Chains A and B, each alone.
Chain A
Amino acid sequence: ETGVTQSPTHLIKTRGQQVTLRCSSQSGHNTVSWYQQALGQGPQFIFQYYREEENGRGNFPPRFSGLQFPNYSSELNVNALELDDSALYLCASSRDPTNEKLFFGSGTQLSVL
């Protein structure tokens, strides 16, 4: 059983650019959630995807968008990057949207200069 994998592990962008982060969910999982973890903070929920549809969203602006593919892997896209977008982005997968058990990846560390 493969775990949740995220790529890349680190990324440096400049303000105003766009970025795409990728996540492969654990085998057998159809739900993917994305979280943003700023330095010194706990993770904050961005959104969740279930069967290729957005299935819930936290308090993040529309420039944060996502996709889920038929194999349940997922992308997080952020447009018009701002300095405050610098954070660790965590992906988590689960067997269904109730998120009874979430399995996290090791995250992508994004730095916006």
Chain B
Amino acid sequence: AQTVTQSQPEMSVQEAETVTLSCTYDTSESDYYLFWYKQPPSRQMILVIRQEAYKQQNATENRFSVNFQKAAKSFSLKISDSQLGDAAMYFCAYRSDLGYGGSQGNLIFGKGTKLSVKP
């Protein structure tokens, strides 16, 4: 079974600085997707960034980028120029790429990292 581990329960960053959130995962599959989701106090899970395992290039979305190390099964999230609105819980998630439907299409989440941004 696949597992996702986030070893940092809490992180703090100064506004405008850069912070990196860690995530490791365990799988025997070769094809899969990795995600970072943000959960603010509104509780809605919001997709931050997505990485396909077959792509060597690291995904980027504006101030958010990942460091995907497939051999090490590591998937960290870097937030540059941190803003007060970035404060939230961040969840790393894994999804198999085994085609249509079933439990294979569901996300497996880590326990999350609470990010605080100091003004």
Contacts and interface: CB of A to CB of B under 8 A. Distances in A.
A88 B109 CA distance: 15
A102 B19 CA distance: 26
Contacts, number: 69
Main secondary structure of the interface of B (DSSP, over half): loop
Given A44-B109, A99-B106, A104-B44, A56 B91 contact: no
Interface size grouping (class) on chain B:
20 to 34
Interface of A: 33, 35, 40-45, 48, 50, 55-58, 88, 90, 92, 96-99, 101-102, 104-107, 109
19 contacts: A33-B106, A35-B107, A40-B111, A42-B111, A43-B45, A43-B107, A43-B109, A44-B109, A45-B107, A97-B101, A97-B105, A98-B101, A98-B105, A99-B105, A99-B107, A102-B45, A104-B45, A104-B46, A109-B43
